[in-house]
Amino acid sequence: MKSVGDYGKGLKLPSYHEARVTFLKNEVENVNKNLEMYRNEWKRTGCTLMSDGWTDGKSRSLINFLVNSPCGTVFLKSIDTSGIIKDGKGLFEMIDSIVEEIGEENVVQVVTNSAAAYVSMGRHLEEKRKGLFWSPCAAHCIDLILEDIGQIAAFWNTLTKAQKITIFINRQLGVKLISKNF
């Protein structure tokens, strides 16, 4: 907005067609050029395909796919998996097609969560593609371990009390911040 104000009178806004077609096409070309730099790195050093499943505000199941290499991590795509049965075979077919898209010779490992369907998918993937490895996500494994620890009575009581204290402090801070703004 500041730049628009600095420009002054006479600024010509882009038309609906320019914004929707011309500018969008140019941005897609820029993204593809940048992605090509990463793809060249994957060919040189190999890469890791990572998946992250989540549910959006409309209760759709989505899986984001990212690719990591020494050049950095890049978002590859997001797939709505609401209609896909999340069994090992279905996940295998989906992830196998993404490995194919990246290039089997470029993928060193695939990292997913450690749910049973993903473990099954990993076995199928390693069986078909001998040059890559499946690994469970360490953060997901630690999260599951901490959830299990939190169910132990001695820890559960302590965690429940800590949550109550946190809620109390946050409410008090919220009240002070609101009254401070007035």
Candidates 90, 86, 103; CA nearest to 47 is 103
* Mean pLDDT (whole number) for 168-179: 72
Per-residue model confidence (pLDDT) at position 99? 97
Q: Which option is the CATH number for 2-137: 3.30.465.10, 3.30.70.1150, 3.30.420.40, 3.40.250.10?
A: 3.30.420.40
- Across all residues in the chain, what is the average pLDDT? 88
pLDDT at 180: 57
Backbone angles phi, psi at 50, to 5 degrees: -120, 140
Could you report the per-residue pLDDT of 37-94, keeping only the tens digit for each?
999 999 999 999 999 988 888 888 899 999 999 999 999 999 998 877 678 888 999 9
Structure confidence at residue 177 as a pLDDT band (50, 70, 90): low
Domains of the chain, residue spans: 2-137
Q: Are 51 and 95 in contact (CB under 8 A)?
A: yes
Q: Is the pLDDT of residue 143 over 80?
A: yes
Most confidently predicted of 4-13, 25-34, 81-90:
25-34
pTM of the model: 0.70
How many Cβ atoms sit within 10 Å of the Cβ of residue 44? 12
What is the rounded average pLDDT of the residues 107-124?
92
Res 175 pLDDT > 80? no
Question: Other C-beta atoms within 10 Å of 73: how many?
Answer: 13
Q: How far apart are CA 3 and CA 13, in angstroms?
A: 13
